[in-house]
Amino acid sequence: MSDLAGSCRHFGAIFFFFICFTAEKLMMTNLYCALHLCLVLPESYTSLFGPGLLRVTGIKIYTSGDMEAVNGTDTRLKCTFQTSAPINPQTLTVSWSFRPLTQGREESIFHYQQKPYLPIEGTFRKRVVWAGDIMGRDASIIIRQVKFTYNGTYTCQVKNPPDVHGTVGEIRLRVVTTASFSELLYLAMAIGGGIAAVVVLLVIIVSCRKCKKRQCQRMEGNVEAPPQKKERKDPTAW
């Protein structure tokens, strides 16, 4: 009965649309036609295509963009996503691919669906580690011991049905011999900041101890000494 009622509603909306523009003898005003179309047609089309279709938007992927990694080190390729649909661990998929700078063929290096599937052959065999959390909207991976042949573009794609459309995330990785000046500067600032924090903490501890010691000495000085008993001399004694 519900299917029949829905079909009748769709047919009625289309028929009324035709009547408004062709049957002037029915004495329907344009205002009434427009009002009826605004109220009936959107509801009909929504029920026709499904209530959830219009609420789903494209999935959004966020990556770190350009990256620099030192040869032989482990590098985390960060990829997070935002989806309008509830996360379903059974259907959500994550795919990573690699395209070298030499314009070679694109290579699939990682896939996730209910569990991580690591590459069993190729350049990235035993080099990729799953470092994400789909419930936390994190699809990151780690590349172990990067090499110069890993220079290129890494693509992260996430699908969470029915939210399967949207842009993909890209990371352009550059493998270098040593860290650049900016990275060394950040490292030096981090180390210097840690040392400075330790020094400040030690100064505070020493100052507190000195203040406490001085306060104790003052309290001891303010304590009055007990009165001494005077010895009485015997008047008969010479």
The domain limits of the chain are 2-49, 60-181
Per-residue model confidence as pLDDT tens digits over 82-116: 999 999 999 999 999 999 988 778 999 999 999 99
Per-residue model confidence as pLDDT tens digits over 166-222: 889 999 999 999 866 555 566 677 888 889 888 888 889 988 887 877 777 777 666
What's the confidence (pLDDT) of residue 57? Answer: 66
Mean residue pLDDT across the chain:
76
Mean pLDDT score, 43-64: 59
Query: On the CB side of 128, how many CA atoms lie within 13 Å of its CA?
Result: 27
What's the confidence (pLDDT) of residue 102? Answer: 81
Please say if the pLDDT value at position 23 is more than 60.
no
Count of beta carbons in the 10 Å neighbourhood of residue 107: 15
What's the confidence (pLDDT) of residue 191? Answer: 87
Write down the CATH number for the domain with range 60-181: 2.60.40.10
Cα→Cα distances 177→148, 153, 172, 181, Å = 9, 19, 17, 12
Locate 107 and state its tokens: 């290579």
Residues with Cβ within 8 Å of residue 83, at least 6 apart in sequence:
59, 60, 137, 158, 160, 163
Mean pLDDT score, 9-30: 43
Q: Which residues make beta-bridge pairs with 159?
A: 93
CA 33, CA 40: separation in Å to the nearest integer?
10
Residues 73, 143: contact at Cβ < 8 Å?
no
Q: What angle do CA 224, 229, 232 make, to 5 degrees?
A: 160
Q: 27 pLDDT band (50/70/90 cuts)?
A: very low
Count of beta carbons in the 10 Å neighbourhood of residue 20: 18
Cα→Cα distances 105→16, 42, 153, Å = 56, 47, 12
Q: 50 pLDDT band (50/70/90 cuts)?
A: very low
Count of beta carbons in the 10 Å neighbourhood of residue 168: 14
Closest CA to 132 of 148, 112, 149: 112
CA 113, CA 13: separation in Å to the nearest integer?
43
